[in-house]
């Protein structure tokens, strides 16, 4: 383009446009007569729209939706097994994302959850449209809690809203006290942090004060629950808090009346 | 490598905008990337090259937007620095590390004003 003002007139090789016009030389074919379009399009806009649609769909079903995030091996699935088994009004619905295998979904079904697996293939995070499709396969009747277990990854899932009401980040005591400092964006986005495997804290010489200070510095507003999927410690407090969240949003009444009148089976068509 | 998913979305948005403006070819894209957006600029560039190279040069699997991507394509990345707002001091500040503490009062209750951007802000077309 014109190097002076970006007007879209091609600069001619070997001299300015004025010089060429004055000399009467034949105009050459413009190399790159381009124009500039000013835009403002967010790369996540499509995901965010789908996430908002998911959220309102979950609310129509009276569901409180959680996005459970952590590194691989921090114990998300074991925690969910316990949550599913202890939730006062089962079943809990689970959408579980993994690169391959449906082992997790089978484990969760054994624990009494209604679980559907998303095999993400090479995708390192879940996106809202994948959750929409997976949710269509769940029978949501009588269900009031939906947990979306994200792919084990502390980076990629951070920016993708799935339609959840709350984000829960899991940090296990075996991972190191400074993980919140290493992955600040994910922990900063969390509404609650579950400090898991506290039954192992002593065995791994976990420095609790240091970990809590790091969490408080990165995510000062997040609720903290110290839990153990093995001993069950802390799970009652977590369940209390989740029920409080349901009440605050007025979700419970809807979950058991199922207001918008469609059963949620595999044949359910989504608009 | 969620950068790939983002660059696929970038390609889709660029094609949509270029067609809406009657452009025949896209020469350059300008992207605004916040430093808290969770993306690595180098990984974005690599992912962009992968997404742009996805079409087979022999014309097999030719994508339906291939006509827009004829020549060399430039990708400009503008990195937006992090800016926070301290509600206690009512002032903006640029955090010096991952802990967004207010430099005046030390409060951690700050809000992120800028730094999460991930936007297509311009297209060079013909």
A260: Cα separation from own chain's centroid: 26
Return the residue matching tokens 């410690």: A233
Q: Do B17 and A37 touch (CB under 8 A)?
A: yes
* Residue-level pLDDT, tens digit, chain A, 271 residues: 343 444 444 444 433 444 444 444 555 555 558 999 999 999 999 999 999 999 999 999 999 999 999 999 999 999 999 999 999 999 999 999 887 778 888 899 999 999 999 988 878 899 999 999 999 999 999 999 999 999 999 999 999 999 999 999 999 999 999 999 999 999 999 999 999 999 999 999 999 999 999 999 999 999 999 999 999 999 999 999 999 999 999 998 888 765 454 555 544 544 4
Q: For the segment B4-30, what is each residue's pLDDT rounded down to a tens digit?
A: 999 999 999 999 999 999 999 999 999
Burial class (CB in 10 A: 0-12, 13-18, 19+), A125: buried
B18 CB near a chain A CB, below 8 Å?
yes
* Cα–Cα nearest to B118, from B27, B19, B47, B20: B47
How many structural domains does chain A have? 2
A41: closest CA of chain B, how far (Å) = 5
B20 inside 8 A of chain A by CB: no
Residue A241: partners with Cβ closer than 8 Å, 6 or more residues away: A192, A223, A225
- Report how many domains make up chain B: 1
Q: Give the position of tokens 């949509």.
A: B16
- Give the other-Cβ count within 10 Å of A258's Cβ: 17
* Residue listed under structure tokens 């998913």: B5
Q: Please check whether residues A143 and A11 belong to one and the same domain.
A: no
Q: CA separation (Å) from A126 to A41, A134, A160, A266?
A: 21, 11, 7, 20
CATH of the domain at B61: 3.30.2320.80
The answer to whether B65 faces chain A, any CB pair under 8 Å, is no
The predicted structure's pLDDT at residue A29: 52
Alpha carbon distance A119, B113 (integer Å): 36
Q: What is the mean pLDDT of chain B?
A: 91
Judgement on whether residues A33 and A156 belong to the same structural domain of the protein: no
- Specify if A248 maps to a domain: yes
Residue A21 structural domain:
1-37
Residue A68 lies in a domain: yes
Q: Which residue segment(s) compose the domain that B94 sits in?
A: 3-125
A193-212 residues labelled b (16+ CB within 10 A) or e (exposed) = bbbbbbeebeeeebeeeebb
Whether residue A151 is found in the same domain as residue A62: yes
For tokens 């952590």, the residue is: A70
The answer on A84 and A22 residing in a single domain is: no
B98 interaction partners in chain A (CB closer than 8 Å): 181, 184, 218
Report the alpha-carbon distance of residue A28 to residue A172 in Å, rounded.
67
User: Does a structural domain hold residue A268?
Assistant: no
On whether both A222 and A141 belong to a single domain, the answer is yes
Query: Tens of pLDDT along B36-45?
Result: 998 999 999 9
pLDDT at residue number A269: 47
Q: Is residue A42 part of a domain?
A: no
Reported ipTM exceeds the 0.95 cut: no
- Taking the Cβ of residue A151 and every Cβ of chain B, the question of whether any pair is shorter than 8 Å is answered with no
In a shared domain, residues A171 and A213: yes
A29–chain B Cβ distance below 8 A for any pair:
no
Residue B70's SS3 state is coil
Close Cβ partners of A41 (under 8 Å, ≥ 6 residues apart): B13, B17, B119, B120
Test the B interface: residue of A37, A159, A184, A216 with most B CBs within 10 Å: A37
Task: For chain B, say whether A2 makes contact (Cβ under 8 Å).
Answer: no
Question: Do residues A26 and A104 both lie within one domain?
Answer: no
Give the chain A residue whose CA is nearest to the CA of B110: A220
The 10 Å Cβ neighbour count of residue A178 is: 12
Model confidence band, residue B66 (pLDDT cutoffs 50, 70, 90) = confident
Residues in chain A closer than 8 A to B41 (CB atoms): none
Q: Which residue of B has its CA nearest to A36?
A: B124
Tell me, what CATH number does A237's domain have? Answer: 3.40.50.300
- CA A164 to chain B, closest CA, distance in angstroms equals 19
The strand pair at A64-70 and A145-149 is best described as parallel
């Amino acid at each position: 383009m014109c190097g002076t003002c970006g007007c879209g007139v091609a600069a001619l090789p070997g001299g300015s446009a004025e010089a060429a016009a004055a000399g009467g030389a034949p105009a050459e074919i413009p190399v790159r007569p381009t124009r500039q379009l000013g835009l403002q399009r967010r790369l996540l806009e499509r995901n965010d729209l789908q996430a908002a649609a998911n959220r309102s769909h979950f609310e129509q079903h009276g569901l409180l939706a959680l996005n459970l995030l952590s590194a691989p091996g921090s114990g998300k699935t074991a925690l969910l097994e316990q949550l599913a088994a202890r939730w006062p009004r089962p079943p809990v619905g689970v959408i579980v994302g993994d690169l391959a295998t449906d082992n997790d979904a089978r484990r969760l079904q054994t624990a009494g959850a209604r679980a559907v697996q998303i095999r993400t293939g090479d995708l390192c995070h879940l996106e809202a449209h994948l959750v929409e499709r997976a949710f269509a396969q769940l029978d949501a009747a009588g269900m009031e809690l939906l947990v979306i277990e994200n792919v084990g990854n502390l980076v990629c899932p951070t920016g993708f809203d799935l339609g959840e009401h709350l984000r829960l980040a899991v940090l296990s005591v075996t991972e190191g006290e400074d993980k919140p400092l290493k992955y600040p964006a994910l922990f900063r986005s969390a509404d609650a942090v579950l400090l898991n495997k506290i039954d192992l804290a002593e065995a791994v010489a976990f420095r609790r004060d240091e970990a809590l200070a790091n969490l408080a510095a990165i995510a000062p507003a997040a609720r903290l629950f110290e839990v153990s999927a093995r001993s069950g410690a802390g799970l009652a407090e977590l369940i209390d808090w989740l029920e409080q969240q349901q009440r605050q949003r007025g979700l419970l009444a809807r979950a058991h009346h199922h207001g918008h009148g469609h059963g949620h089976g595999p044949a359910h068509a989504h608009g | 490598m969620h950068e790939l998913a983002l660059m696929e979305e970038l390609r889709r948005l660029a094609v949509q905008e270029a067609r809406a403006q009657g452009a025949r070819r896209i020469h350059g894209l300008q992207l605004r990337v916040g430093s808290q957006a969770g993306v690595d600029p180098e990984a974005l560039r690599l992912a962009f090259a992968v997404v742009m190279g996805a079409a087979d040069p022999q014309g097999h699997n030719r994508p339906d937007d291939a006509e827009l991507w004829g020549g060399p394509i430039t990708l400009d990345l503008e990195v937006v620095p992090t800016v926070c707002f301290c509600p206690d001091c009512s002032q903006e500040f640029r955090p010096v590390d991952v802990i967004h503490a207010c430099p005046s009062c030390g409060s951690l209750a700050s809000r992120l004003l800028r730094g999460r951007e991930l936007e297509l802000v311009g297209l060079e077309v013909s």
